Chain A
Amino acid sequence: MATTKPKSFRKIWGQATPYLLILPVVIYYSIFWVRPVVAVIVGSFTDASGFFTLQNFVMVFNDESFFPALYNTAIIVIISVTIEFIGALFLALLINRKFWGSSIFLFLMLIPMALPAVATGAMWMTGLTAHGWINSLLYYLGFLAEGEKIYWLGGLQQNQLKLLALVIIIDAWQVIPSMMIILLAGLQNLTEEVKEAGYVFGGDFITVLRKITIPILQPTIQTAVILRLISAIQIWLIIVLLLGFGRLPVLVERIVYYHEEVPGLDVSYQMAAGYTIVVSVIVSLTALLYLRVSGAFKKEETV
């Protein structure tokens, strides 16, 4: 009896260890994440005088910018995540070939990731104005005649496709590196023998990529894409830096708009809270859908 007591205590202690290790995270999240989130959720169901209401969501859906914001966000997410994935995979495959200078090449490709949003904002703002460096460069290269200018950010409200394209290119430029490092890490774990076997059996580069590399890389691809998907839906800062509020409405831009730009209105806080909940629901559903389709749930409890 006396000998078993410390033993069982030890056993319980051993079983409790992982929970003790994750306890700080749980506490931290509940103070600094759950609390503000609950505050916003409560706010989204409350009217200005503090009573329960669903009116906030009705206002959000009736907001004339809601559907444009939804479409714009959807277009940006679908196109930019696709482009970014292809670009990141291409770069990762290239760097993984370990040619002479590949390490420096990797560093140079990572630089856009290291730049702060304000610096990238400054970069594209000074580039895309009529007097900016992009027009200057085109002029020096002979694409623009003297006095001729391209108004990149100008134009009518209808011409949103151009603005969308610009936003997608700029976003891709900044985001590809962070997606690329995740894919590169996965590729580095792949042994050469596996690929060589594919080549031995007569596969060409594309076949090996499609039948061997990508399937083995699948979990890494899931990680990279899901992280990107979640933040792509929440794009707004670069759009506001380049175009200001309202020119190209997207969902999160609307939250900031109601909170920061028109804080005086009676409904500002309600609108911002309503938009926040709508965005969170959209992000969660998209993420769950992606994880289900890509099969991430099948491997549960196997790690």
Chain B
Amino acid sequence: MKSKTNKKVIKAAKETVFYLFLTTLIAGVLLPVYFIVSLSFLSTREAYQYPLPLVPALKTDMELGYGERGYLLSVWDRIDKEYQTVLDTADLEKMEYYIKSQLGTKITEEELLFETSRLENSDEKSVFFTKPRALLNNYDTFFRVTRDAVPALIRSLQIAALTILISLSIGGLAGYAFARYVFKGKDTLRFSVLFVRMFPGVAIALPMVFILARANLYDEPLGLSLIYSVGAIGLTIWITASIFMGIPESLEEAAQVFGASKFQAFMKVTLPLALPGLAASAMYIFLGAWNETVAAIILTQFKPTFSVVVYQTLLGASGQVNLAAAGGISMALPAIFFTFFLRKYINRMWGGVKV
């Protein structure tokens, strides 16, 4: 009896240690992600502070007093733990704009007028008030201020969809051939998947400028998706071959026994069974096309992709870290969403892949 409880205790202790270990691992891996998310919610004022606040504030405490030029606005600094003067102006519109843009805080003109009249009518030197933060302010600003963020987003979706269409149809056919047939040159083609990757992608993008320009596809979504498909088709061949190998050929043969043609057997039997795996490869292709930046910078001019827009916010003249963070996170969200589904299909996609 005693040893039984002992064993239980040991097991529980082991499990606790195991899960503590996992938590540490998760924390370590996701720590950088946490900070970029946190940064995307920080106000511009706080984003440039050191040390950087660990969590975004949910409200802003402000103090309004009299200054030399009019009203003196001070804001509670969470790091130095004191009110710090940030603005001295009589212009309420300017103050409202400052609170919105620099402090990322919601305030209306009426509310500000109310606070100033409260100050005028009181005997105190200053009045205190608290307003809720506009947490999505950076996201809002990113999409409003950044030139063509929304059209770029739509273009990126178009490009990803086209890339999926091209790679899955062309690569899928070859993948099926790999899974079902023995033919001469099979190994050469299998290695060619690697071969295509051995030539630096940037170096291909450069001569492609001329090739696409001649075809009137430079600076067009279709042009970019044609380039992305070069890399994507290779992996799609491997992955779809693995998926088709996972579906027994005997099922197709059985359908043929019942009078279906080979094509019908494929359409009616194999394809429906392969569909979840193929959907997973589509998501995989999406990740590549959606995230790609370098070729997009080279091959676009007036019609940038979303990744290029984020890149420009990050490094361009308009660069502002909290806005870039918001752009980066908006870009990462669909990719992370697809990854959530992808994890179920890892085995179907990569299980049969062998160099």
Give me the interface of A with B, judged by CB distance under 8 Å. 17-19, 21-22, 24-25, 28-29, 32-33, 35-37, 39-40, 43, 99, 101, 103, 105-119, 121-127, 130-133, 135-137, 139-140, 173, 181-182, 184-186, 188-189, 219-220, 222-223, 226-227, 230-231, 234, 236-237, 241, 252, 255-256, 259-260, 272-273, 276, 279-280, 283-284, 287, 291, 296, 299-301, 303
Contact = CB atoms under 8 A, between A and B. Distances in A.
Interface residues of B, number: 92
A1 to B, nearest CB: 26
Contacts of B201: 234
Contacts of A32: 208, 226-227, 229-230
A277 B114 CA distance: 70
B167 to A, nearest CB: 9
Given A25-B189, A25-B233, A230-B197, A111 B339 contact: yes
A40 B346 contact: no
B52 interface: yes
A118 B314 CA distance: 8
11 contacts: A21-B174, A33-B199, A39-B207, A106-B343, A116-B290, A119-B329, A121-B314, A184-B346, A184-B347, A185-B351, A220-B353
Interface in B326-355: 327-329, 331-332, 335-336, 338-340, 342-344, 346-347, 349-351, 353-355
A252 B294 CA distance: 12
Nearest to A236: B202
Nearest to A188: B347
B230 A29 contact: yes
Given A231-B197, A279-B200, A300 B187 contact: yes
A291 B347 CA distance: 23
Contacts of B298: 260
Given A118-B310, A219-B355, A123 B36 contact: yes
Given A32-B227, A36-B204, A234-B200, 9 more contacts: A18-B180, A21-B173, A110-B342, A112-B29, A118-B311, A189-B351, A255-B203, A276-B203, A301-B187
Nearest to A276: B203
Interface of B: 18, 22, 25-26, 29-33, 35-36, 38-39, 48-52, 54, 169-171, 173-174, 176-178, 180-181, 183, 186-187, 189-190, 192, 194-204, 206-208, 210-211, 226-227, 229-230, 233, 237, 287, 290-291, 293-294, 298, 307, 310-311, 314-315, 321, 324-325, 327-329, 331-332, 335-336, 338-340, 342-344, 346-347, 349-351, 353-355
Nearest to A176: B29
Given A18-B177, A25-B237, A181-B350, A111 B355 contact: no
Nearest to A16: B183
B204 A37 contact: yes
A134 to B, nearest CB: 8
A301 B48 CA distance: 60
A135 B54 CA distance: 12
A40 B174 CA distance: 27
A108 B30 contact: yes
A302 to B, nearest CB: 10
Contacts of B181: 17-18, 21
Q: What secondary structure prevails in chain A residues at the interface with B?
A: helix
Closest CB pairs A-B (n = 3): A119-B328, A185-B350, A136-B51
Contacts of B294: 117, 237, 256
A300 B184 CA distance: 12
Contacts of B33: 111-112, 115, 123
B203 A105 contact: no
A132 B176 contact: no
Q: What secondary structure prevails in chain B residues at the interface with A?
A: helix
Nearest to B47: A126
A287 B287 CA distance: 25
Nearest to B353: A223
Given A18-B181, A230-B198, A133 B18 contact: no
B196 A33 contact: yes
Contact of B332 (A28, A107, A115): A115
B183 A119 contact: no
A249 to B, nearest CB: 15
Contacts of B189: 22, 25
A116 B26 contact: no
A122 B328 contact: yes
Nearest to A41: B199
B203 A119 contact: no
Contact of A287 (B171, B198, B203, B211): B198
Contacts of B49: 131
Contacts of B192: 29
B331 A119 contact: yes
Contacts of B315: 241
A131 B50 contact: yes
B39 A126 contact: yes
A111 B336 contact: yes
A182 B353 contact: yes
